[in-house]
Structure 1
Amino acid sequence: MTKQLPDDVFKELTLLCKEGDALVATSDFEAARGRFVAALRLLPEDHRQWEAATWIYVAIGDTHFRTKNFDKALKCFLNAVQCPQGLGNPYIHLRLGQIYFEQEYFDKAADELTRAYMGAGLKIFMEDDPKYLEFLETRIEI
């Protein structure tokens, strides 16, 4: 059973994330990250037990990924995996694979990219640089 946040917390958290998404759309990743971090801080203690933490960590991680801060992006996506519905989420595994690829941890990259492919098929690779799919094709038969 998933626990629910109090309505006022959920509303504020949602508003902050919508503001963060709007800032991402204008490529203001630093300001967006600030909104997402503020949203994360609204969660009660042991914040990793809340499903909202999963998508907030993904949002923060994406801002780091898009600015090529792969160490911080990795931390965010590893946190997301530990939150509800994080493990097995194809998008989270895609980003982990891409981050490991950029850090030249190719075996880990292949593992995570394979998980993304198994969970969502080819379509999950279509919005990003084709180099990730090209790499995966050298490791598994697609």
Structure 2
Amino acid sequence: MTPQLSDSTHAEIKALCKQGDDLVHGGDLDAARQKYIAALRLLPKNHKEWEAATWIYVAIGDTHFRSGTFDKAFKCFFNAVQCPKGFGNPYIHLRLGQLYFEQSNFEKAADELTRAYMGGGLNIFMEDDPKYLGFLETKIEI
């Protein structure tokens, strides 16, 4: 069973993440990332045991992905997949697949992108560069 945060900590984390989301929508990825990192720091020790860590790592990872800092994005999504409800999450597998692709690790990219497709369908690929779907189409029948 996943532990529960106190109501006040949960509210503070949600507020910081909302501020981060607003900054992302405004195009300020660096400031958004700082809000998400502040939220992550509010989690108790062994933060990977907390479900909130999953979506905070995804948020931080997305700011890095959008900035093109793929090495840092990879670390975030690699952490997210190890947190509660991370493994099997199609979006996390999509990003991991894209990041493995960017590292030229095509075997792992195909595996992760297949997981994303199986869990999220074709639509999960529609907001990103079509090169990832094009690559997957060379590996599996879509």
TM-score scaled to structure 2, two decimals?
Answer: 0.98
Q: What do the CA deviations read for 1:63-106 (whole angstroms, capped 9, x no partner)?
A: 00000101000000000011000001000000001111112111
Gaps of 5+ in 2: none
Which amino acid letter does the alignment assign opposite residue 65 of structure 1?
F
Partner residue in 2 for 1:60: 60
The more displaced of 2-11 and 13-22 is 2-11
Which amino acid letter does the alignment assign opposite residue 53 of structure 2?
A
Does residue 76 of the first structure (1) align with residue 76 of the second (2)?
Answer: yes
Partner residue in 2 for 1:42: 42
The alignment yields a C-alpha RMSD, in angstroms, of: 0.7
In the alignment of these two chains, the number of paired residues is: 142
Partner residue in 2 for 1:13: 13
Partner residue in 2 for 1:133: 133
Q: Tell me the distance in 2 between the aligned counterparts of 1:134 and 1:95.
A: 15
Which amino acid letter does the alignment assign opposite residue 110 of structure 1?
A
Q: Secondary structure at the match of 2:141?
A: coil
Q: Tell me the distance in 2 between the aligned counterparts of 1:95 and 1:125.
A: 10
Percent identical residues: 73
Which amino acid letter does the alignment assign opposite residue 4 of structure 2?
Q
Partner residue in 2 for 1:86: 86
Deviation at 1:4, TM superposition (A): 1.2
Q: Tell me the distance in 2 between the aligned counterparts of 1:31 and 1:48.
A: 23
Q: Tell me the distance in 1 between the aligned counterparts of 2:27 and 2:35.
A: 14
Gaps of 5+ in 1: none
What does residue range 83-122 of structure 1 map to in structure 2 within 5 Å?
Answer: 83-122=83-122
TM-score scaled to structure 1, two decimals?
Answer: 0.98
Deviation at 1:110, TM superposition (A): 0.6
Deviation at 1:2, TM superposition (A): 2.6
Q: Tell me the distance in 1 between the aligned counterparts of 2:120 and 2:89.
A: 9
Partner residue in 1 for 2:4: 4
Deviation at 1:26, TM superposition (A): 1.2
Deviation at 1:58, TM superposition (A): 0.2
> Runs of 4 or more off by more than 2 Å in structure 1?
none
Q: Tell me the distance in 2 between the aligned counterparts of 1:17 and 1:62.
A: 13
